[in-house]
Amino acid sequence: MATNWAAFAATEPGLAALAEGRFGAFRHHVLVTLRADGTPRTSGLEVRFLHGELWLGMMPDSLKARDLLRDPRFALQANPGPGTAMGGGDVRIGGRAFEVTDPETKGAYGKEVEPPQPFHLFRTELTEVVRTSVEDDRYLVVQVFRPGEPVRTLRRT
C-alpha cells in the first residue's frame, strides 16, 4: 500500500510538518536507489514538496534516474546538518518514484523550480516515513508511518 504526500499530510499533519521542516532545513539530501544487480546506490539529491506531492528531479540519464526507471523503489534520507544536534530529528522516507512525462505537469514544475534543462521528474508514492529523535535527553523516540496504519511511536532508553 502506498500514498502520496498530500494524503499522508492530511492523515498525519504533525509528522508531515516535521518531515517537511527537516528536508527544508538543508538543500541537499541522500537518495538510495537500486542498481541493476540489486545493490544500493547512494546519490545526492534536492527534493521539493509542491502541490501535495514529494518530487524528485534529476539530470537526464543520471544513474539514479536510470535506477528509478528500472526499479521505482527508493529511500530518501534528510540531511542531518552540521554537528550532532540533529535539530528536528532524523527523517527517512521510503517509497516508489514514477517518472512524469506529461508536458503540462513537467512544464509547471519547471516554471516553479527552474531546474537545469532537460531533466527527469519523478512523482513519489510513500510506503514509509520514519522520524527518529531524542526526547528529554533520555529517550530515543521512533515514529513510523505506513499507509493504512496509525503512526507507531516507540520510546527507548
Q: What is the pLDDT of residues 99-139, one digit of tens each?
A: 999 999 999 999 999 898 999 999 999 999 999 998 888 89
pLDDT at 84 over 80: no
Nearest Cα residue to 93 out of 27, 14, 15: 15
DSSP symbol at 3: B
Q: Which helix (H) or strand (E) holds 93?
A: strand 90-99
The single-letter code of the amino acid at 29 is H
**DSSP of 46-66:** -EEEETTEEEEEE-TT-HHHH
- The model's pLDDT over 72-83, given as tens digits with 9 standing for 90+, comes to 999 999 998 876
Segment 81-99 mean pLDDT: 85
Task: Indicate if the pLDDT at residue 86 is higher than 70.
Answer: no
The answer to whether residues 84 and 28 touch, using CB atoms and an 8 Å cutoff, is no
> For residue 138, what pLDDT is reported?
87
Strand partners, 135: 139
Average pLDDT (91-104) is 96
Give the residue-averaged pLDDT of 134-157: 93
Residue 116: its pLDDT value, please?
Answer: 86
- In this prediction, residue 88 carries a pLDDT of 72
Confidence of residue 2 (pLDDT cuts 50, 70, 90): confident
User: Measured at the alpha carbon of residue 129, what is the angle toward residues 125 and 133, in degrees to the nearest 5?
Assistant: 160
Kindly report the CA angle at 58 between 57 and 64, in degrees rounded to 5? 115
Q: Which amino acid would we find at residue 88?
A: G
What pLDDT score does 12 carry?
96
Q: CA-to-CA distance for 96 and 55, rounded, in angstroms? A: 11
What integer pLDDT is reported at residue 83 of this predicted model? 67
From the DSSP assignment, how many helices (H) and strands (E) are in the chain? Answer: 4, 9
Query: What pLDDT shows up at residue 37?
Result: 98
How does pLDDT run across 13-64, given as a tens digit for each residue?
Answer: 999 999 999 999 998 999 999 999 999 999 999 999 999 999 999 999 999 9
